[in-house]
């Protein structure tokens, strides 16, 4: 058992990865707080679940449009420098938003604009951060580093929502964004302390557009990478919008909860995701990863349909915990497959395409939010869950390389 725990935390024995992990962990707590505060403010100002979906669209659409070029930047410039500049910009945005909310000047459209700007900056930040990991830990620890990242992410989703619920009730939503800004400062300090040899950027042949096309062609012709990207897209469009976008409406309208209840619901869901990531970290490298990923997508869809029938907190927390455990498995294994397969000179661009699979979430979020607005959140849960199951089963039939990953 001790050896399994040592294996689970192997990547944290690397000093440079420790620094990246510490900074990222605090940023994730701030982002989890932002989700709760933003969702509750939008519901309070608009009274409509549809605007929750629209806000998700505003945050995610830059990932589709901007992140591929963010990947080119991550391959051509210092990834450390990209992180420092992007996080400094996010710090400024968070402070401005906190001031607007505190002065009661913020409107729904201010929040939409803030989400659009922050999503644009994250489109540069995330590919650089993810492409930096193999440089810090080496290819042999990539899978463990991805699992550790997921453990930190899901732990932050336990802490952040509960903290946000407390702050909203105690001092108002502005406190959430101010604390998030301080988190960006902490992360910048940790990133600046990372010491690595000179990063050799990708050879700058041709324009940025040509470099982008080279990365896209690699994704299309490399079977394991292409399959992982398709599976990630299915989860992002039909599973992720449910607990990333519609939980405030589900908590308020279906379960009858206030902001504190929403925070507890999100924290409980994150416990399940944490359990999934800890389990994968302790298990080490698994065989038949493609089949495991598809099985997790199918299970998540079934749990979404089950959640649509629940009207009380305790069983809702259990089902959402199972759902997020499944999504954690999908995210970790998909990202590990990509980071282990792709050469360093292309990794920034390929990770930016992986980020696009998150950015397409509005394709599901907007229609599902409209369904929730018209027919209630349980109807949206049934539709999202059913479609994800059908598509995962289709992938099992039409993509033979799933069994080879």
Q: What's the pLDDT at 284?
A: 61
DSSP letter assigned to residue 251 = I
Percentage of the chain lying above the pLDDT 70 cut: 93
Closest to 353 (Cα-Cα) out of 218, 237, 255: 218
CB 322 within 8 A of CB 45: no
Mean pLDDT of 226-232: 87
Q: What's the pLDDT at 123?
A: 87
Which helix (H) or strand (E) segment holds residue 212: the answer is helix 208-221
CB 105 within 8 A of CB 60: no
Tell me the helix, strand and coil percentages in the chain, rounded to 5.
85, 0, 15
Q: What's the pLDDT at 6?
A: 55
Closest to 270 (Cα-Cα) out of 101, 353, 167, 155: 155
pLDDT exceeds cutoff 60 at 5: no
Q: Mind listing the pLDDT tens digit for each residue in 278-297?
A: 887 776 667 777 788 888 99
List CB contacts of 122: < 8 A, sequence separation 6 or more. Answer: 62, 63, 86, 90
Q: What's the pLDDT at 152?
A: 85
Q: What's the pLDDT at 199?
A: 55
Give the Å distances, CA to CA, from 70 to 127, 140, 205: 7, 26, 17
- Where b means 16+ CB within 10 Å and e means fewer, 275-298 reads bbbbebbbeeeeeebbeebbbbbb
Confidence bin at 205 (pLDDT 50/70/90): low
Closest to 155 (Cα-Cα) out of 53, 13, 28: 28
Read out DSSP for 147-197? HHHHHHHHHHHHHHHHHHHHHHHHT-THHHHHHHHHHHHHHHHHHHT---P
Structure tokens at 6: 């040592």
Mean pLDDT of 341-355: 83
**Calpha distance 238→198 (Å, rounded):** 41
Most confident of 87-91, 122-126, 203-207: 87-91
pLDDT exceeds cutoff 70 at 163: yes
Sign of the C-alpha dihedral computed for residues 95, 121, 271 and 148 taken in this order: negative
Compute the mean pLDDT over every residue in the chain, rounded to the nearest whole number.
Answer: 84
Q: What's the pLDDT at 206?
A: 60
List CB contacts of 116: < 8 A, sequence separation 6 or more. Answer: 58, 59, 61, 62
Phi and psi of 379, rounded to 5°?
Answer: -65, -40
Closest to 229 (Cα-Cα) out of 323, 327, 355: 355
Q: Mind listing the pLDDT tens digit for each residue in 317-332?
A: 999 889 988 988 888 8
Mean pLDDT of 148-159: 81
CB 237 within 8 A of CB 361: yes
CB 320 within 8 A of CB 307: yes
Q: What's the pLDDT at 203?
A: 56
Q: What's the pLDDT at 404?
A: 66
pLDDT exceeds cutoff 80 at 401: no
Mean pLDDT of 205-222: 78
Mean pLDDT of 82-102: 92
Structure tokens at 378: 């349980």
């Amino acid at each position: 058992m001790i050896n399994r725990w040592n294996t689970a935390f192997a990547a944290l024995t690397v000093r440079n990865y420790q620094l990246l992990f510490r900074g990222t962990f605090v940023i994730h707590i701030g982002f989890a707080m932002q989700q709760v505060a933003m969702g509750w403010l939008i519901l309070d100002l608009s009274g409509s679940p549809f605007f929750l979906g629209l806000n998700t669209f505003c945050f995610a659409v830059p990932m589709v449009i901007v992140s591929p070029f963010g990947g080119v930047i991550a391959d051509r410039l210092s990834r450390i420098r990209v992180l420092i500049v992007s996080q400094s910009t996010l710090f400024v945005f968070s402070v401005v938003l906190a001031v607007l909310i505190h002065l009661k000047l913020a409107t729904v459209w201010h929040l939409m604009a803030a989400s659009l700007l922050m999503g644009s900056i994250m489109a540069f930040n995330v590919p650089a951060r993810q492409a930096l990991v193999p440089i810090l830990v080496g290819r042999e620890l990539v899978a463990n580093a991805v699992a550790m990242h997921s453990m930190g992410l899901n732990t932050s989703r336990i802490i952040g929502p509960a903290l946000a619920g407390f702050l909203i009730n105690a001092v108002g939503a502005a406190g959430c964004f101010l604390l998030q800004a301080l988190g960006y400062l902490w992360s910048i300090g940790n990133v600046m302390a990372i010491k690595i040899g000179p990063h050799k950027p990708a050879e700058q042949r041709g324009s940025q557009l040509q470099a982008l096309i080279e990365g896209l062609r690699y994704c299309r012709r490399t079977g394991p990478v292409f399959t992982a990207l398709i599976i990630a897209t299915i989860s992002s469009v039909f599973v992720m919008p449910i607990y990333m976008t519609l939980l405030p409406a589900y908590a308020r309208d279906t379960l009858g909860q206030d902001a504190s209840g929403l925070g507890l619901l999100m924290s409980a869901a994150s416990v399940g995701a944490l359990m999934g990531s800890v389990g994968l970290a302790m298990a080490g490298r698994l065989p038949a990863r493609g089949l495991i990923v598809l099985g997790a997508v199918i299970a998540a869809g079934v749990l979404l349909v089950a959640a649509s029938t629940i009207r009380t907190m305790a069983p809702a927390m259990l089902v959402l915990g199972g759902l997020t455990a499944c999504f954690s498995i999908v995210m970790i294994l998909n990202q590990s497959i990509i980071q282990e397969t792709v050469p360093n000179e292309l990794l920034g661009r390929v990770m930016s395409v992986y980020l696009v699979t998150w950015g397409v979430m509005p394709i599901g979020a907007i229609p599902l939010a409209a369904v929730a607005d018209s027919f209630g959140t349980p109807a949206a849960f049934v539709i999202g869950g059913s479609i994800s199951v059908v598509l995962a089963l289709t992938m099992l039939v039409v993509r033979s390389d799933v069994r080879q990953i």
